[in-house]
Amino acid sequence: MKICTTFFMPLAMVLVMMAVAESHIPTTLDGPFDPVTHRFDPSLRQDSEDLPVTHPRLRKNVTSNFAEQIALAISSPTSMWVSWVTGDAQIGLNVTPIDSASVESEVWYGKESGKYISVRKGDSVVYSLLYPFEGLWNYTSGIIHHVKLKGLEPSTRYYYKCGDSSTPAMSREFIFETFPKPSPNNYPARIAVIGDLGLTSNSTSTIDHLKF
């Protein structure tokens, strides 16, 4: 039994090493490589129509002066972008863009729930698509706010809310956690890239079918 064990163990290790070599992570150092994709699943529902604006996933849950569509974008281990929208978008023959300066862009944040020891202000913008021809529907967005939080601590949980405190119209409390300091042992283990989820009943299914 001892002879068999000592014989098969190195052989197993060689087979494992060969398998790892065959499935190595590709690199672009030697040029581009073919992307790895998953076959289309024919069991998924096709030709899904856009969700109506009255759908629970899309309809507004707050009044127009409060923040909605709140989103985060990691900038570095010590900073974070917070974005949101206030006001209502308009579609029609005659639309009037909202004055972006009419609402403040503030983020209150801290390391303890309900204790916001720091406040940052940012910028806001409204974009419009106005056609120079009659009979076409124009579009103007709500107010889009962007605030960059700086001087954060890596690997730290922060509690925050955003909006305009002068109205007052601040959002409820949310949470985010900063990235760890860069090191050979700290890097994103998985990255998912999705192009244009859309606003259909299949949007959630796309997320569910991601393989992690």
Neighbours of 150 (CB within 10 A): 11
Q: What's the structural domain count of the chain?
A: 1
Phi, psi angles (nearest 5°) of residue 202: -85, -10
Per-residue tokens: 127: 């974009």
Enter the pTM of the model: 0.70
Report yes or no on 125 lying in a domain: yes
Report yes or no on 42 lying in a domain: no
CA–CA gap between residue 124 and residue 107 (Å, rounded): 13
Report yes or no on 194 lying in a domain: no
CATH code of the domain covering residue 147: 2.60.40.380
Instruction: Count helices and strands (H / E) in the chain.
Output: 2, 12
Using the predicted structure, report yes or no on whether residue 70 has a pLDDT greater than 90.
yes
For residue 103, the enclosing domain spans 68-186
**Residue that wins the pLDDT comparison between 53 and 144:** 144
pLDDT, tens only, 21-66: 445 556 656 666 676 666 767 776 666 677 787 887 777 888 888 9
CA–CA gap between residue 89 and residue 82 (Å, rounded): 20
Report yes or no on 141 lying in a domain: yes
Report yes or no on 21 lying in a domain: no
Report yes or no on 165 lying in a domain: yes
- Of 93-97, 107-111, 200-204, the poorest mean pLDDT is in 200-204
Split at pLDDT 50, 70, 90, the class of 205 is confident
Report yes or no on 18 lying in a domain: no
Report yes or no on 96 lying in a domain: yes
